[in-house]
Amino acid sequence: MDWTEVCIRIPTAHTDEAAAIANMAVPYGIYIEDYSDLEQGAREIARIDLIDKDLLAKERDTALIHIYISPEDNPPEAVAFLRERYTAVGIPHQVEAQTVNEEDWANNWKKYFKPLPVGERLLICPSWEQTDNPEGRAVLSIDPGMAFGTGGHDTTRLVLETLEQHITEGCDFLDIGCGSGILSIAACLLGAGRALGIDIDALAVKTAVENGLLNGLTTPKYEIRLGDLAKDVSGQYPVIAANIVADAIIMLSPAVPALLAEDGVYIVSGIIDTREQDVLTALDGCGFTVAERHEHGGWLCLVCRK
């Protein structure tokens, strides 16, 4: 079995935060190349003055984070997760596959992505698969490409399960950081009258539009926009979801109360359990109370009300 090595290049000032996000994608191990304090470390830790010339040639203001992903863990989704999360928190980055051409491994993993029942009503199905559906679930066809969201990640699955409980017939739904469009598509299949997804990643927007078409969804029922939440969305929504990361939730949440309908719910996910209190503090500062808390695999999904 071939593993994919992914190399993430970021400014050294963001190494700790970028490494924490990388660990969210593959918690079984990363390694970091950071030579910003090479000379000081050589003197204080290794107790040497002579340093190999190849090491001295290393960049001082850039760090490299390496992660390794098995095919079963869906390398393209992990890379999409990293790109979108780094963009969301404002970390400059380059994310590259080191061992196989991206075009190849973006397709090779597909044999491991199989139909996935989620909650009580949904069946996530790869666009290239045919599947039996004896339970009569709503079939959500998806080809995530290089955008985050197949339903396999704990964060996405938690939100999908939660949407089943809160989407009502004909309601409007807002998806902040829509990725592959999976949440907006699910909302429509669960009965929403209109779903609006917004993302700052042009590739995610393109993918989300294409996935909508796979499910027979177009505007005005299903609309995907490239833009910023605070600047490019208006109106009020009974259900708003943000499946991103803790820092992005903290940053975006002050704009949400004005967009949330009275008695509406704001569903936030993508929160690693060690960041729960940071998010709770920020939500409280925005006037939200947590009505539900769901957890799986160290990830949290919170349902909030004004």
Give me the domains of the chain, ranges plus CATH numbers: 4-109 (3.30.70.600), 151-305 (3.40.50.150)
- Residue 222, classed as helix, strand or coil, is strand
SS (H, E, C) 144-208: CCCCCCCCCCHHHHHHHHHHHHHCCCCCEEEEECCCCCHHHHHHHHCCCCEEEEEECCHHHHHHH
| Measured distance CA(298)–CA(306) in Å, rounded | 26
Contact 147, 179 (CB under 8 A): yes
* pLDDT one digit per residue (tens) for the chain, 306 residues: 567 888 899 998 898 889 889 888 876 667 788 765 543 433 333 333 333 444 444 455 788 898 888 777 778 888 888 988 898 889 999 998 766 555 555 565 566 567 788 889 998 888 777 777 778 898 998 876 655 566 667 888 999 999 999 999 999 999 999 988 999 999 999 999 999 999 988 888 998 999 999 999 999 999 999 988 767 898 999 999 999 888 889 999 999 999 999 999 999 998 888 889 999 999 999 999 999 999 987 889 999 999
Q: Which residues contact 234 (CB under 8 A, 6 or more apart)?
A: 259
Largest CA distance in the chain: 70
Strand partners, 142: 126
pTM: 0.69
CA–CA distance, 225 with 197 (Å, rounded to integer) = 6
Which DSSP letter does residue 2 get? P
Distance (Å, whole) CA 151 – CA 137? 15
Rg over alpha carbons for the chain, rounded to the nearest Å, is 20
Show Cβ contacts of residue 80 under 8 Å, excluding neighbours closer than 6 positions. Answer: 144, 145, 146, 147, 148, 149, 179, 180, 204
On the 0-12 / 13-18 / 19+ scale of CB atoms within 10 A, 117 is middle
